[in-house]
Amino acid sequence: MMRIVTYMLVLSLVPYFGFGQNKITGKIVDQLGFPVYRAAVEINATDSITYTDYDGSFTLSSEKDFHWKINISSKGYKPESFFVLSGGNTGNIVLEYDADIKKLLDGSSSLHQKFYWDSWNKAILFPKSEDLLASTSVFLN
């Protein structure tokens, strides 16, 4: 009889533990649709934080039942806030590149000029014919 009471007591507590945690899931991608690795995802005004995996996916747990505000940040991207409704699935959240990365991608930075295709094309891939003749004569002699 004591065992039955103990089992009933344990079974009656299971719903409290099972429903105490609500999950927020989603995926963080960049403007091109590529996953963002190691982006920080946190529930606003809490200590609950996680990081995206190699696929850009994340899972957060919360005691709160619905309507979360999450903050997302990652180096090279503008910080983003996102409201999650009940159900907890955000789908894909797109992070926008920050000013430095945009500058690099649109070709207006000095770094881009150093690696610009035309300069490689002229100097390395298609050298001047006299340079070619000089280098081949060294091997022929």
pLDDT band at 1 (very low <50, low <70, confident <90, very high): low
Question: What kind and span of H or E run contains 91?
Answer: strand 89-94
Average per-residue pLDDT for the chain: 78
The CATH class for the domain spanning 2-98 reads mainly beta
* 97 against 87, higher pLDDT: 97
Strand-by-strand arrangement of the 49-51 sheet: 49-51, 40-43, 68-73, 80-84
- Domain extent listing, the chain: 2-98, 107-140
pLDDT reported for residue 72: 98
